[in-house]
């Protein structure tokens, strides 16, 4: 997307402005980065509950007799393992094994799948899926992104909010499951997923109903001691868990093996796009891998593109980096040569020409007490 194209607005844009959000461009969308403050919103999610607008994310519906086989040919995880109602984290790769996108795929019925993809990759994902589809596949694809809004309710009190909003606790989706409901306005999807490390769910609905749902959910969230949260807190929450962000940590020239996502790649399930490249890379050895580090002394927060030094030499640059609100410590991730990526390795992060000590640590950065 070019920088000159106008920013897109979610159906909740005017509600955010009314709630006092500070709006910033993100992935081509004008999104709330914060309402009251990133640290306060971050802590609300860790301690009680928060609600996020995730309407910018994309939704594809892939159906038909050949849907399972097609998706297994383009995605890394084994989608045949999913029973109706179950979902999995998976990746879409190019021929070189590089990451086009990371996404969640759900089986909503025997022959229908619901994919949730990153906002910045909707067009690239769609184009890639179409390019992989052949006439014989017996697959239908629909892009529901433009008329679907989404809200994420995250935190230890998410279940309480769900009960207040949906009337009974039974409609709370368990982790990595999906509940689909038809309404007069179209389908609603309740997904037991999130991007914060807390219990919670992501709720996708027809765009024209989103403002009503948000106001109900904000009331319930506030009653539970939480607050609406912006993308700033979403970013610090996901990074504390070591979850990668596409474009920051995942790229078309890095494989999921380098990104430490081998768990979501099934090399035994049969052929899929990028598999040959992954098998070859595995045999040859990884050139580098995404390592997690934390600052060990008083230092400015590490930020994307800061140089990373090992043994005096610059060996990489920061991908995601921030000040962790839970740990009050700088944290980040960087692709580093294997010699520099073992847990406990001493690194230096170069910030405005000065080098500050850091060490390689195990993910996640944050663990619940």
Partner 1 sequence: MSNVPDNLRYRDSHEWIDPMQNPSPVGITDHAQAELTDVVFVDPPKIGTQVSAGQQVCVIESVKAASDIYAPVSGEIVEVNETLSNDPGLLNRDPYLGGWIFKIKPSNPAEADALMNAEAYRKHIG
Q: Which residues contact partner 1 (rule: CB under 8 A)?
A: 33-34, 36-40, 232, 236, 298-301, 303, 322-323, 325, 328, 352
Nearer to partner 1, 64 or 301 (CB): 301
Nearer to partner 1, 40 or 359 (CB): 40
Nearer to partner 1, 154 or 326 (CB): 326
Q: Least distance in Å: CB of 37 to partner 1?
A: 4
Q: Least distance in Å: CB of 213 to partner 1?
A: 28
On whether the CB atoms of residues 74 and 132 are closer than 8 A, the answer is yes
Q: Least distance in Å: CB of 42 to partner 1?
A: 8
Q: Least distance in Å: CB of 302 to partner 1?
A: 10
Best CA proximity match to 299, nearest among 321, 280, 278, 267: 321
Best CA proximity match to 229, nearest among 158, 175, 144, 294: 158
Nearer to partner 1, 20 or 270 (CB): 20
Nearer to partner 1, 66 or 325 (CB): 325
Q: Least distance in Å: CB of 248 to partner 1?
A: 14
C-alpha to C-alpha distance for 200 and 45, rounded to whole angstroms: 10
Nearer to partner 1, 220 or 299 (CB): 299
Q: Least distance in Å: CB of 232 to partner 1?
A: 6
Nearer to partner 1, 38 or 117 (CB): 38
Q: Least distance in Å: CB of 171 to partner 1?
A: 34
């Amino acid at each position: 997307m070019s920088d000159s194209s106008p920013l897109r607005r979610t159906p909740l844009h005017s509600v955010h402005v009314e709630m006092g959000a500070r709006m910033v461009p993100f992935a081509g969308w004008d999104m709330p980065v914060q309402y009251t403050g990133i640290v306060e919103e971050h802590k609300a999610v860790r301690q009680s509950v928060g609600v996020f607008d995730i309407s910018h994310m994309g939704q594809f519906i892939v159906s038909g007799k050949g849907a399972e086989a097609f998706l297994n040919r383009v995605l890394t995880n084994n989608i045949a393992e999913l029973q109706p109602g179950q979902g999995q984290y998976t990746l879409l790769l190019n021929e070189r094994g590089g990451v086009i996108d990371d996404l969640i795929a759900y089986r909503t019925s025997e022959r229908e799948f619901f994919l949730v993809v990153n906002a910045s990759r909707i067009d690239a994902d769609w184009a890639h899926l179409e390019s992989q589809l052949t006439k014989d596949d017996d697959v239908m694809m629909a892009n529901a992104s433009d008329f679907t809004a989404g809200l994420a309710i995250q935190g230890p009190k998410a279940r309480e909010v769900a009960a207040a909003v949906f009337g009974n606790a039974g409609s709370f989706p368990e982790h990595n499951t999906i509940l689909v409901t038809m309404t007069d306005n179209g389908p609603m999807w309740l997904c037991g997923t999130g991007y914060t490390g807390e219990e919670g769910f992501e709720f996708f609905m027809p765009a024209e109903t989103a403002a009503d749902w948000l106001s109900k959910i904000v009331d319930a969230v506030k009653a539970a001691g939480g607050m609406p949260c912006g993308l700033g807190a979403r970013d610090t929450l996901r990074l504390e868990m070591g979850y990668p962000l596409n474009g920051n940590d995942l790229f078309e020239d890095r494989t999921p093996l380098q990104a430490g996502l081998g768990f979501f790649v099934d090399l035994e399930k049969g052929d899929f796009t990028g598999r040959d490249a992954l098998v070859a890379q595995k045999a040859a050895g990884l050139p580098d891998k995404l390592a997690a580090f934390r600052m060990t002394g008083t230092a400015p927060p590490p930020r994307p593109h800061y140089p990373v030094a090992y043994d005096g030499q610059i060996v990489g640059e920061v991908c995601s980096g921030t000040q962790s609100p839970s740990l009050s410590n700088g944290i980040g991730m960087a692709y580093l040569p294997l010699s520099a990526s073992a847990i406990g390795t001493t690194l230096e992060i170069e910030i405005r020409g000065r080098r500050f000590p850091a060490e390689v640590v195990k993910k996640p950065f944050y663990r619940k007490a």
